[in-house]
Chains A and B, each alone.
Chain A
Amino acid sequence: MEDVEMDVASPEVMLTFYNRIYPFQSIFNWLNQGHTPTKRFTHREFAFTLQNDVYLRYNSFATYEDLKKQVCQYNPSRFEIGPVYSLRPRDRKTARPGAMVPLERELVFDIDMTDYDSIRTCCSGADICKRCWGFIAAAVHVIDDAIRKQFGYNHLLWVYSGRRGIHLWISDKEALELTDDQRKAIVGWLTVVRAEKSEMAKKTEIHTPLKELPPLLKTALEHLKYTFNDLILEDQDPFSSDEGFEHLLRLITDSGLAARLRDQRKAGSTSKELWLIILKATEGTRILQAMREDIIFHYTYPRLDAEVSKHRNHLLKAPFCVHPKTGRVCVPIDPIQVDDFDPAEVPTVNQLMKEINTANTSTESSSLPDWHKTALRPYIDMLDKHVQGIMDDAKRSKGTDLSW
């Protein structure tokens, strides 16, 4: 863990990475949704963060070769992808004011571990370990399921953010065209636990006493019950500390039960033991049961960074960038295998350098691109497969357009 944090790449390494490994073509295909450059690529904003923290916005490129050239020239520590505008972002100064408006943009979500700081016990702040990845994994399951089943979108790309979070990019046509209002609506639909920025942690109140749980949450609850048991009670064990216990008490609306918990709590009480008390006490009455379910949601339901998703013109770090602090590459993640994902095992840029160096000294065929010989290969294949799905879909809808 400590080691990885130190694995920061030097500018020379970054340059080699962009030059020889970064999958510009796959990224192009993914954004452009076809092989010939369209507005989806040429009118797209790219923003660069240079090594000296200078931030350059409103870049746009005609082809992915242009993009690569510019990236190699600037050698940025990372770069971000923005929306497709009504004109080429780099031409914005020649147009009349107000003419440049965002038209399309993948629907994006950002889940960040910092929003979980008040409930995780293993790490805090920027740190992440295999144990707290459980929160992210639970979030991925819920969001992935909701987006696919409820909203009917198919082209979801989950990307590890390089340190403590995960991004989701949705490339379905309808998702690309959503207005800011619609994006706000979808965030509202998915948000249950409001992010706690301050100490004044707001209570999660999902249930209204008279109404049943909405269907969306009912399905989520089925899954989260298990997560709660494994991740919270078994692994994180947050209620055993005084602080975590107080946090729990704040969620308990029934003063009698809160007092009983205080009484029965001994020095070594584990979360599991305390939860058993709650389970017994809440059996039977509907209001208490609702409160119990609220607690489960509070500890396990995805906490979205809403601002990222709400606006089309929000920039988000491109996949396969290198996180400047950890040196890890932002690789795509298969949502089905998200439980087994270990952030510590993600290839770092220095590690990739070693791999291409050893591969090139051995006598293997050199006709293959460099990334083929590295640990990044399965991830790039994953993106290519994802892109293929998008393109097939695009072709199909084009076909129907022609027949019309």
Chain B
Amino acid sequence: MFNARDRRSFKTEDAGDSKPESQKLNFYDRPPRHDVTLEEFEICALNRLRILAEIESSLARNRSWEEMKTQTTQQCKNYLPLDTEEDRKQDHVSHYVLRLAFCRSEDLRRRFIKAEGILFRTRFDEVLKADREQLLDSQRLHWLKVEETEKQNHRNELYSLYPPIKPEDVRNTSFNRDTYYKVRWTRVPDLIEKRKVFLSGGWAYVPGREQSSIIFQEFEDRLARALELTARSLPRLDEDSRLVPILDNLSNGFVAGVSSEWSSSTEGKNGEITAEMVDHHARNDFPMCMRTLHEQLRKDHHLKHFGRLQYGLFLKVLGLPIEESIVFWRKSFDRITDDKFNKEYKYNIRHSFGLEGKRANYPAKSCQQILSPGPSEHGCPYRHYSPENLQTALLANYSSQGLTSADLPEVVALVKSGHFHVACTRVFEITHASCGIKKGDGVGGFESVTHPNQYAARSIELRKGDIKKEGT
């Protein structure tokens, strides 16, 4: 799976070392060496991608470090636990799969390093001290311990840089207890730039408590170097035609937030939706992409093929059964004859429900599919509208649900930085504030919007809860 040269160079290094799976924190400096099934390859990568995408949207939303940490930890528990050796193997594999997917462009590399860096930091904070020390022992980080006599020689300089703790004698004892390490200054440029450490002969004297910042830096540096190496050897990977589509899919997923598995799992639960209810839900619960389609349908009394496909599948997953679906479309296309409808459209509707042709149960399109440029003219409004049009559309669609022009700059800024799904999530939060949704909650469990159906289902669920609460 990974190129032979890498493997060889690592082999010489790990003689006698413990396996990376045996410890919780992993520097990912050695590729996994066991067999991985194709399914495992994809699934564990998707799980990791979910976490990374969530970290990215947290960054885009300016969440505080504490918030981000709690949330990431929560997500890690669900998707990438580290408790058993099997878990850790998965973690290890998933990291390497994503390396392959994200080494291709400068932009992807940068984002990947950032997100992985935060994931590592979170875990580093969460695990036990023993786990941390285990990691440090296993990495040859070339830290020289500063001997006591040397520490005393530079006592004044070192002490003057020690953080101010009150009272003075506490600071003094704390200083005396702290261990100092010497590293080449080039390894800690951020500490140097801010003049936070004592420097002599090119050696930076770093107190033990700054250790973590060095490790994080080291982690990101090594990852950056490894990604560039991987990128260079990637052309030699295409011997296996099974992997490339998966990798393509994964890197696209990162762009669209995450490639969601949000699919037909809720189908049938809300079977009670009828053709008459669609108007109501469209006004209250649909994400903007679907609202746009709905409005267009009402305005033109027609939708083109890909629009029908996108909207039809969305309604199907939302819980509109086949009979109701046919009623809905027939009513909507009220300017054509029965004959034409039955001939030209009914078949397609039944087809999309898996009742004709190859009888496949087609899933609804995810944000990723809607976002990526394709034949569809009905993409994601956040992505395809000009900022002016987007603002008008947002106000027109959502002002009745609490979105004011004061919220626009934030949404537009998110769109401008390319975080379309975060913008959509933010709109969800604003318009569901009356249901007790706060900024940062996302569509449940801090998650961002990754699928229009996820948006709509959550919205319907929330509003229902609201009505119930009012009733009691």
Interface residues of A (CB under 8 A from B): 149-153, 174, 178, 181-182, 184-189, 210-216, 218
Contact = CB atoms under 8 A, between A and B. Distances in A.
Nearest to B166: A210
Nearest to A172: B202
Contacts of A218: 160
14 contacts: A151-B199, A151-B201, A152-B200, A174-B202, A182-B186, A182-B189, A188-B192, A212-B160, A214-B160, A215-B156, A215-B160, A215-B161, A216-B199, A218-B160
B302 to A, nearest CB: 47
Contact of B192 (A153, A185, A211, A212): A185
Interface string B174-203: 000000000011100110111100111111
A254 B160 CA distance: 26
A149 B164 CA distance: 26
Contacts of A213: 160
Given A214-B160, A214-B161, A215-B161, A150 B186 contact: no
Instruction: Enumerate the 3 nearest inter-chain pairs by beta-carbon distance, A residue then B residue, closest first.
Output: A152-B202, A188-B193, A185-B189
B157 interface: yes
Interface in B185-239: 185-186, 189-190, 192-195, 198-203
Contacts of B189: 181-182, 184-185
Contact of A215 (B157, B190, B203): B157
Contacts of A184: 189, 193
B174 to A, nearest CB: 16
A186 B191 CA distance: 10
A156 to B, nearest CB: 14
A85 B101 CA distance: 29
A119 to B, nearest CB: 23
Nearest to A190: B195
Contact of B195 (A149, A178, A189, A210): A189
A150 B203 CA distance: 8
Contacts of A150: 199-202
B186 A188 contact: no
Interface residues of B, number: 20
B192 A186 contact: yes
Interface string B142-157: 0000000000000011
Nearest to B203: A152
A174 B185 CA distance: 11
B368 to A, nearest CB: 29
Contacts of A149: 200-201
A150 B184 CA distance: 11
A153 B202 contact: yes
Contacts of B192: 185-186, 188-189
State the main secondary structure of chain A at its contact with B: helix
Interface in B438-467: none
A185 B202 contact: no
A316 B1 CA distance: 47
A101 to B, nearest CB: 11
B160 A152 contact: no
Contacts of B190: 185
Interface string B2-41: 0000000000000000000000000000000000000000
Contacts, number: 55
Contacts of B201: 149-152
A151 B190 CA distance: 15
A188 B194 contact: yes
A187 B192 CA distance: 9
A189 B202 contact: no
A215 B160 CA distance: 7
A219 to B, nearest CB: 9
B50 to A, nearest CB: 31
A127 to B, nearest CB: 34
Contacts of B194: 188
A216 B202 contact: no
A213 B195 CA distance: 11
Contacts of A214: 160-161, 195
Nearest to A98: B106
A215 B198 contact: yes
A297 B160 CA distance: 19
A178 B160 contact: no
A152 B160 CA distance: 21
B224 to A, nearest CB: 11
A125 to B, nearest CB: 32
Given A151-B185, A178-B186, A181-B189, A189 B160 contact: no
A37 to B, nearest CB: 28
B199 A189 contact: yes
Given A151-B199, A152-B202, A188-B193, 15 more contacts: A149-B200, A149-B201, A150-B201, A152-B200, A152-B201, A152-B203, A174-B184, A185-B189, A185-B192, A187-B193, A189-B195, A212-B160, A215-B156, A215-B198, A216-B195
Nearest to B194: A188
B193 A189 contact: yes
A178 B186 CA distance: 8
Nearest to B201: A152
B193 to A, nearest CB: 3
Contacts of A189: 192-193, 195, 199
Contacts of A153: 202
A357 B336 CA distance: 103
Nearest to A178: B186
Contacts of B195: 188-189, 214, 216
B161 A185 contact: no
B398 to A, nearest CB: 43
| Chain B CB within 10 Å, residue with most, of A151, A184, A187 | A151
Contacts of A178: 186
A188 to B, nearest CB: 3
Nearest to A188: B193
A194 to B, nearest CB: 14
Nearest to B157: A215
| Chain B CB within 10 Å, residue with most, of A150, A153, A181 | A150
Nearest to A208: B164
A270 to B, nearest CB: 35
Contacts of B199: 150-151, 189, 216
A178 B156 CA distance: 30
A127 B193 CA distance: 33
Contacts of B203: 152
Contacts of A152: 200-203
A102 to B, nearest CB: 16
B157 A185 contact: no
A216 B160 CA distance: 11
Contacts of A151: 185, 199, 201-202
A187 B198 CA distance: 16
A185 B193 contact: yes
Contacts of A187: 193
A4 to B, nearest CB: 40
A188 B193 CA distance: 4
Contacts of B185: 151, 185
Interface in B108-163: 156-157, 160-161
A178 B184 CA distance: 12
Contacts of A212: 160
